[in-house]
């Protein structure tokens, strides 16, 4: 599939993605920066303000000032989208990814005065074949030894660029199963989150999830919790262990791009319910209705179009 080069915003200019240049002294090379990921549905922005609000909370925690308001950041997101929309097929959508680093690093450690700002765009359609498989077969969730950063060291509520623990967790899970998703626990052994998703589960008709202490406040997770309330599904938060997942009726992961990814296996054990259990299916249907896209049909049709060479 040919995808043309996209236009990005970088330090005040709109340029081609191949022209992005971080200097060797930029703080991003040491993991000092924050980012986020938003997306469109049917070429319409969804939940962008919520993602930008979370981005600004992360910036505040890291003492980074991007030199613009959240409203101005939103407008730049829209401009990046508009400049690339002509290259977007009807069945495709974009992810918008803002990244703000500490900027050029001097030879001493101190507060950043000139952060680097990148807002880039990415086609979602290359992910569709894998997402179709996950919707069809479910995912294999594996508990890893790598732990979530404890809040005493680094807040999990910040979407920062220091992701080494997550990369190691992903590597560890894929040693068990090349298709597995990693689940991290906190340092006390309580369930935390996946490497790019929140983990929720169902037991006796109620929806369970960890307390906010050790997880990123997922935008998609927040949407799902609102939908659960509207559907009359009981929501329970607390500190839970692996035992609670072994005895769950349904498990799913919530993330920006797929929305809901059902778990069909947990630590090599097949889940008792179908790939989309009854509660997971209700929430997924409500989510698709909210964003105006049947996500399963979208990824399946996209693959069919691609094979037929249809634009």
Q: Tell me if 249 sits within 8 A of 203, measured CB to CB.
A: yes
Q: What's the pLDDT at 273?
A: 86
The CA-based angle 158-159-160, given to 5 degrees, is 95
Tokens of 54: 């979370």
Count other C-beta atoms under 10 Å from residue 4's C-beta. 10
Residue from 12, 120, 115 nearest 72 by CA: 12
Q: What's the pLDDT at 310?
A: 46
Interhelix angle 219-230/278-291, rounded to 10 degrees, is 110
Q: Tell me if 183 sits within 8 A of 191, measured CB to CB.
A: yes
Q: DSSP code of 288?
A: H
Q: Which residues contact 6 (CB under 8 A, 6 or more apart)?
A: 16, 17, 84, 87, 120, 121, 122, 123
Interatomic CA distance for residues 122 and 311, integer angstroms: 18
Interatomic CA distance for residues 182 and 142, integer angstroms: 5
Q: What's the pLDDT at 304?
A: 60
Q: Which residues pair with 116 in a beta bridge?
A: 101
Q: DSSP code of 298?
A: H
Q: How far is CA 207 from CA 19, 52, 90, 203, 289, in A?
A: 46, 27, 35, 7, 20
**Three-state DSSP class for residue 22:** coil
Q: What's the pLDDT at 303?
A: 61
Q: What is the CATH number of domain 131-296?
A: 3.20.10.10
Phi, psi of 268 (to 5 degrees): 75, -5
Interatomic CA distance for residues 71 and 172, integer angstroms: 40
Q: Tell me if 250 sits within 8 A of 126, measured CB to CB.
A: no
Q: Tell me if 94 sits within 8 A of 122, measured CB to CB.
A: yes
Q: Tell me if 31 sits within 8 A of 160, measured CB to CB.
A: yes
Interatomic CA distance for residues 180 and 164, integer angstroms: 18
- The residue extents of the domains of the chain are 7-123, 131-296
Tens place of pLDDT for every residue, the chain, 311 residues? 556 789 999 999 999 999 999 888 888 888 899 999 999 999 999 999 999 999 999 999 999 999 999 999 999 999 999 999 999 999 999 999 999 998 877 655 555 568 999 999 999 999 999 999 999 999 999 999 999 988 888 899 999 999 899 999 999 999 999 999 999 999 999 999 999 999 999 999 999 999 998 899 999 999 999 999 999 999 999 999 999 999 999 999 999 999 999 999 999 999 998 899 999 999 999 999 999 999 999 998 766 655 545 44
Interatomic CA distance for residues 126 and 128, integer angstroms: 6
- The fold of the 7-123 domain, in CATH, is D-amino Acid Aminotransferase; Chain A, domain 1 (3.30.470)
């Amino acid at each position: 599939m040919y995808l043309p080069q996209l236009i990005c915003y970088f330090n005040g200019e709109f340029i081609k993605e191949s022209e992005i240049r971080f200097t060797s002294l930029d703080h991003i090379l040491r993991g000092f920066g924050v980012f986020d990921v938003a997306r469109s549905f049917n070429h319409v922005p969804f939940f962008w303000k919520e993602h930008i609000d979370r981005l600004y909370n992360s910036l505040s925690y890291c003492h980074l000032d991007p030199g613009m308001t959240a409203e101005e950041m939103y407008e730049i997101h829209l401009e990046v989208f508009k400049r690339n929309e002509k290259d977007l097929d009807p069945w495709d959508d974009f992810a918008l990814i803002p990244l703000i680093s500490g900027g050029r690093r001097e030879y001493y450690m101190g507060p950043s005065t000139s952060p680097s700002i990148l807002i880039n765009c990415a086609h979602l359609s290359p992910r569709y074949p894998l997402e179709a498989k996950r919707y069809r077969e479910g995912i294999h969730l594996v508990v890893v030894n790598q732990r979530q950063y404890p809040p005493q060291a680094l807040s999990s509520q910040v979407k920062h660029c220091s992701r080494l623990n997550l990369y190691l967790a992903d590597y560890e899970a894929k040693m068990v199963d090349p298709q597995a998703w990693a689940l991290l626990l906190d340092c006390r052994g309580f369930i935390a989150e996946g490497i790019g998703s929140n983990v929720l589960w169902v037991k006796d008709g109620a929806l369970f999830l960890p307390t906010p202490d050790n997880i990123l406040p997922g935008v998609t997770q927040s949407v799902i919790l609102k939908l659960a309330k509207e559907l009359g599904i009981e929501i329970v938060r607390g500190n839970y262990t692996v035992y609670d997942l072994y005895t769950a009726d349904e498990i799913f992961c919530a993330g920006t791009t797929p929305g809901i990814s059902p778990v069909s296996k947990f630590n090599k054990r097949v889940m008792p319910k179908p790939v989309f259990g009854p509660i997971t299916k209700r929430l997924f249907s409500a989510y698709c209705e909210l964003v105006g896209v049947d996500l399963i049909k979208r990824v399946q049709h996209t693959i069919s179009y691609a094979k037929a060479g249809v634009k």
